[in-house]
Amino acid sequence: MSKHPTQTPPGPSLVPLRGAGKGPRPVNLQAVRAYGDTLDDGQMMLSFALPVPFSEEAKEAGRELCRKMGLLEPQVYHAHDLGEGFTYLTIYARNPHTVDFTKISVPKLDARRLDRHGVEALWAEHMTRKIRILGACTGDDAHTVGIDAILNVKGYHGEKGLEAYKCFEVKNLGAQVSNDVLLQEARAFAADAILVSQVVTQKDCHRSNLAALIDLAEAEGLRAGITYVCGGPRLSHAIALELGFDAGFGAGTTPTEVASFVVQAVVRERQP
């Protein structure tokens, strides 16, 4: 099995879709179109702001922008003044384009979803010491709610954080930790895994900061042998792989999801 497998939707190109009182209707997975009120109507909703004063001209500017995007019949359903010369718009329009769903593949985590007992059982079977996990919000990011939800005992969504696991030794560095300090701590702590939370995403600063961490880790000889995980509302496993991480988690991730991946990745890393 590859370390980062992809998954393609299985089954035939035509699948049934149930409509209200009309029974199954075929959906062509090779030509999937946006859905609003009626199958294949192509209806989409767009919400955005324009740096122009609230006016009828602002609404027409929004419609014209949609037309230039290739959307048909744009209609302004809502608009309001944001102040200081800005207008907020909600527009419905019809998209004539389709996608071939059968050709879409997305990187998937190469890890089984285990509960807490399963995580600890796997660790006990393969290791004689605790797995050392270092976590932080890096760069200028001061939003610790995500990293705390995963690491702290109180946890999230009814699940205890990684501090509650007997197989983990956890060190949470908190907020606004620079990449060089994080790696200094990783060396001193002899970390097996590094967890980085990024909530601040203006101008894609989370991407540049995470990529810089991996570049620095490689330069410092701290990339091999350490499992790197990132998480945040605008992150995914695919983005994490692109940035050089081993795994990425988005909004709503629970502690057991992270624990499952980390224990399996560390055990796999230490197998001959």
Task: Spell out the residues 6+ positions from residue 57 whose beta carbon is closer than 8 angstroms to its own.
Answer: none
For tokens 């990293």, the residue is 147
Adjacent-strand bridge partners of 16: 26
φ, ψ of residue 255 to 5 degrees: the values are -55, -40
Q: 139 near 205, Cβ under 8 Å? A: yes
Using alpha carbons only, what angle is made at residue 258 by residues 169 and 6, rounded to the nearest 5 degrees?
Answer: 140
CA–CA gap between residue 160 and residue 256 (Å, rounded): 8
Residue 3 known to be catalytic: no
Give me the catalytic one of 59, 154, 166, 171: 154
Question: Which of 53, 56, 57 lies closest to 86 in space, CA to CA?
Answer: 53
Which DSSP category does 153 fall into? Answer: T
Structural contact between residues 243 and 108, judged by C-beta atoms closer than 8 angstroms: no
Question: 57 exposed, middle or buried (CB, 10 Å; 0-12, 13-18, 19+)?
Answer: exposed
Structure tokens at 101: 């769903």
Reading the block at residue 58, the tokens are 């602002």
145 phi, psi to nearest 5 deg? -60, -35
Q: Report DSSP state, residue 38.
A: S
Question: Which residues are designated catalytic?
Answer: 154
